Amino acid sequence: MKIFFVTGNEAKFREASLVLGEFGIELAMDRSHRKIEIQSDNLEDIVNNALATICTGDVSEYFVVEDDGLFIDKLNGFPGPYSSYVYRTIGLTGILRLMSGINDRTAYFKSVVGLCGPQIPAKLFIGVRYGVIATEPRGSEGFGYDPIFIPSGFNKTFGELGLEIKNKLSHRAMAFRTLGNWLLGGR
């Protein structure tokens, strides 16, 4: 079985491919569709809207889109759905500055993966990973906020833990694993 992932993000694609590979599902990067992103505080709304522009009428292939974000408790969930913009503007340094003097550094990553395809209604799969925000960036693996996110139960950041461990426990791995289970039997 083959699924097209509508994304230009190579790192997300690599992580999702490895997870779906566990199910024997091939993932291909689809650059022919554009992921249309509405502005919303809700990741599910963003993904549902993106899916609606990809699976219009009958389709002959399976497509997935994903949206995710980092939600920091003491910043009332900021940057959340705006994670990409915030990363590009104030970056890790800006987030660490906003967090300076804050002891409760709990945060979570949330991934919402949307699937549509022939003879199936659009469906969402969700993964959440809790952790804390580090006091400084550590590690060079991964992407985005990986160098400042320490998953619960570990004392290293995703950037230090590397892809193999990240893919066992990340929000994205959880969402794509749920999708794999659903497609291969759990429907």
Applying CB under 6 A, the residues found at the interface with ligand IMP are 9, 67-70, 83-84, 87, 109, 142-146, 158, 170, 172
Q: Which is nearer to ligand IMP, 39 or 103 (CB)?
A: 39
Shortest distance, position 146 Cβ to ligand IMP, whole Å: 4
Q: Which is nearer to ligand IMP, 9 or 49 (CB)?
A: 9
Q: Which is nearer to ligand IMP, 40 or 84 (CB)?
A: 84
Judge contact between 66 and 6, C-beta under 8 A: no
Active site residue 67: yes
Backbone dihedral region of 101: left (phi > 0), alpha (psi from -120 to 50 degrees) or beta?
Answer: left
Convert 70-100 to b/e letters by CB count within 10 Å (16 or more is b): bbbbebebbbbbebeebbeeeebeebbebbe
Shortest distance, position 84 Cβ to ligand IMP, whole Å: 4
* Alpha-carbon dihedral sign for residues 156, 11, 175, 66: positive
Cα separation, 115 vs 127, in Å, equals 14
Q: Which two tokens stand for residue 163?
A: 């892809």
Shortest distance, position 187 Cβ to ligand IMP, whole Å: 26
Shortest distance, position 6 Cβ to ligand IMP, whole Å: 11
Q: Which is nearer to ligand IMP, 112 or 116 (CB)?
A: 112
For the purposes of burial, counting CB atoms within 10 Å of the CB of 154, is it exposed (0-12), middle (13-18) or buried (19 or more)? Answer: middle
Residue of 30, 41, 45, 67 with catalytic role? 67
Which residues form the catalytic set? Answer: 67
